[in-house]
Structure 1
Amino acid sequence: MNADKLRTVEDWVSYYRHEFGLPVSERGGFVMLPVTAQIGVVHLPVARAEMVRGALQQQRRGGPMLARQIRWSFLAEPDSRPGEQVMAVLNRLDIGIPAIGSAVMLPTGLGRWTREGCHWVTPPARDSKLPPLSAIITTALAVGAEGED
């Protein structure tokens, strides 16, 4: 499938399903990726997200990332859910973990400027594993601690 020839939301749904194996659907005229027991999401403020991205790449645990104006969203394998105390720390740091049943809007374009106001920093790949949610959370807390001395 050639991304340059995709015109409709339905085309993009087919593209994401076929090319990347993502369980997306059309909802309200947008491509939506549901948060499930197999695919999680972590939202991070941009500055912290850039540090997390670099650290995960060094660990060879990088994965798909979406950029929005004030935050990036990392796709993750939900290996465990943080406890209440960790969630409280994450909330204070403006790090969000959407609940199962929610969804994330994906771009209908592979360039930087899409009608959804987001773009792929690192696009998904069909055969690559998603990084564990716990690794993203641990890394996000570690890189923030380094800069807060």
Structure 2
Amino acid sequence: MNVEKLRTVDDWAAYYRHEFGLPATERGGFVMLPITSRASVIHLPTQRARAVRDLLDSHEIRVPMLARQIRWSFLTYPDRRTDPEVVEMLQRIDIDIPGIGSAVMLPTGMGRWNREGCNWVVPPERDGLLPPLSSVINAALLVGDDRE
């Protein structure tokens, strides 16, 4: 599919499904990625997210990432249930893992500027597998707190 020819939200949702295997849907006039047992997201503050990206890159782990004003969202697959104590610890350092049933908005454009106010830092790849959520959590804990 040629992204230049995509005009509607439904076109973009179909593009994400067809090109990247993401279960994107249209909801409320936006392209949404539902959080399921196959797709998860972890939101990190920007500074920590940059450090996590660098660490994962050094281990050749590629993670699709969306940038928003103060947070980045890493797309992953939930490889195991996150321990409640770990979730609590992550929340204390401003890291959030939305639960099944929630969703994250995807951009209707591959460039920096679009109506959703987010852009791909690292876009998904065709036939690319999402990395395990646990690897992003481990990296986020390893890089330390950006407020230290």
Tell me, what secondary structure is at the counterpart of 1:96?
Answer: coil
Distance change (3 Å), C-alpha of 1:145 and 1:67: closer
Tell me, what secondary structure is at the counterpart of 2:32?
Answer: strand
Tell me, what secondary structure is at the counterpart of 2:144?
Answer: helix
Amino acid at match of 1:35: I
Alignment of 1:138-149 (within 5 A): 138-144=138-144, 148=148
Residue deviations 1:30-66 (CA, integer Å, cap 9, x gap):
0000001011100000000000001011111121000
Aligned residue number for residue 44 of structure 1: 44
Tell me, what secondary structure is at the counterpart of 1:55?
Answer: helix
Q: Distance in 2 between matches of 1:66 and 1:81?
A: 23
Q: Which runs of 5+ in 1 are unaligned?
A: none
Shift of 1:145: 5.5
1:17 aligns with 2:17: yes
1:32 aligns with 2:32: yes
1:105 aligns with 2:105: yes
Residue deviations 1:73-119 (CA, integer Å, cap 9, x gap):
00011012321221111001110000011100000000001100000
Worse-superposed segment, 111-120 or 83-92? 83-92
- Could you say what the CA RMSD is over the residues aligned between the two structures, in angstroms? 1.3
Contact 2:38 2:77 in 1 (8 A): yes
Contact 1:81 1:134 in 2 (8 A): no
Contact 1:32 1:105 in 2 (8 A): yes
Tell me, what secondary structure is at the counterpart of 1:74?
Answer: strand
**How many pairs were matched up?**
148
Aligned residue number for residue 132 of structure 1: 132
Aligned residue number for residue 79 of structure 1: 79
Shift of 1:147: 7.6
Worse-superposed segment, 48-57 or 126-135? 126-135
Distance change (3 Å), C-alpha of 1:137 and 1:11: same
TM normalised by structure 1 equals 0.95
Worse-superposed segment, 39-48 or 3-12? 3-12
Worse-superposed segment, 75-84 or 28-37? 75-84
Tell me, what secondary structure is at the counterpart of 1:105?
Answer: strand
